Amino acid sequence: MRALIGLGANLGAPLEALRKALEEIAALEQVKLLATSSFYSTSPVDSSGPDYVNAVALVEAACSPETLLRSLQAIENAHGRVRPAGVHNAPRTLDLDLLDFGDVVMTSHFLTLPHPRMLERLFVLVPLSEICPDWQTKAGVPITTLIERVRNSDPTQHIRKLEH
């Protein structure tokens, strides 16, 4: 099943963390890395601290969404990811979000698919549009429309492609 993974970091060495995480994702036994967007510098959204570095990866996963998410969380933990109690969206050394998993729509205590806030975040939509320009929501809304909506509704979200 094709899946989309959002990558982000704003503590430590974010570029290096994302590069290493992509290598680790590609090395997962049941995952094949198909495409990776450029890296982008982005302003924090519902978070704090320095600007983030973000990217999106497209993978082929021969496992369940829950198994893939557990693998992504293990990679985060190996990079020193801390989840302070009571703090939502704290700055982080590495964040790996399972954004979309084929046609799967689900909500559990552990995982919601598609990711509930991905359509409100330029740091997801812009890199995603780079690797999947024809992507659309389950309701058929094209990614170009989504990007325009977010740019019009939230001018505080800044995004800039990084040269690397």
Active site residues: 81, 92, 95, 97
Q: Are 32 and 2 in contact (CB under 8 A)?
A: no
- Give how far Cα 112 sits from Cα of 116, 146, 151, Å: 7, 20, 25
Residue 26, both tokens: 């590609």
CA distance 108 to 85: 20
Preceding amide of 114 cis, omega within 30: yes
